Amino acid sequence: MPQLGFGVYQVPDDEAAETVAAALAAGYRSVDTAALYGNEGGTGKALRESGVPREELFVTTKLWNTDHGHDVALRAFDDSLERLGLDYVDLYLIHWPVPSKDLYVQTWRALAEIHESGRARAVGVSNFEPEHLTRLFEETGVVPAVNQIELHPRLQQPELRAFDAEHGVRTEAWSPLGRGNGVLDDPAVRRAAAKHGKTPAQVVLRWHIQLGNIVIPKSVTPSRIRENLDLFDFELDGDDLREIQRLETGTRVGPDPRTLS
Ligand code: NAD
Q: CATH code at 163?
A: 3.20.20.100
User: What residues are annotated to the active site?
Assistant: 37
258 falls within a domain: no
Ramachandran angles phi, psi of 229, nearest 5°:
-100, -15
Show the DSSP H helices in the chain as ranges.
13-26, 40-49, 70-84, 104-117, 130-140, 158-166, 187-196, 200-211, 222-227, 238-245
Task: Tell me which of 179, 202, 215 to substitute to probe ligand 1's pocket, judged by most ligand atoms within 8 Å of the beta carbon.
Answer: 179
Domain that includes residue 22, residue range: 6-245
Closest atom of ligand 1 to CA, residue 152: 2
Task: Quick: pLDDT tens for 33-52.
Answer: 999 999 999 999 999 999 99
63 falls within a domain: yes
- Three-state DSSP at 115 gives helix
Q: How many CA atoms lie within 13 A of 253 on its CB side?
A: 19
1 falls within a domain: no
Average pLDDT over residues 48-74: 98
257 falls within a domain: no
Q: How many domains does the chain have?
A: 1
193 falls within a domain: yes
214 falls within a domain: yes
> Does the beta carbon of 60 lie inside 6 Å of ligand 1?
no
* pLDDT value at residue 181: 77
> Does the beta carbon of 257 lie inside 6 Å of ligand 1?
no
Residue nearest to atom 20 of ligand 1 (CA): 201
Ramachandran angles phi, psi of 30, nearest 5°:
-115, 130
> Does the beta carbon of 6 lie inside 6 Å of ligand 1?
no
156 falls within a domain: yes
Amino acid of residue 33? T
253 falls within a domain: no
Answer yes or no: is pLDDT of 20 > 80: yes
* pLDDT value at residue 203: 98
180 pLDDT tier (thresholds 50, 70, 90):
confident
> Does the beta carbon of 127 lie inside 6 Å of ligand 1?
yes
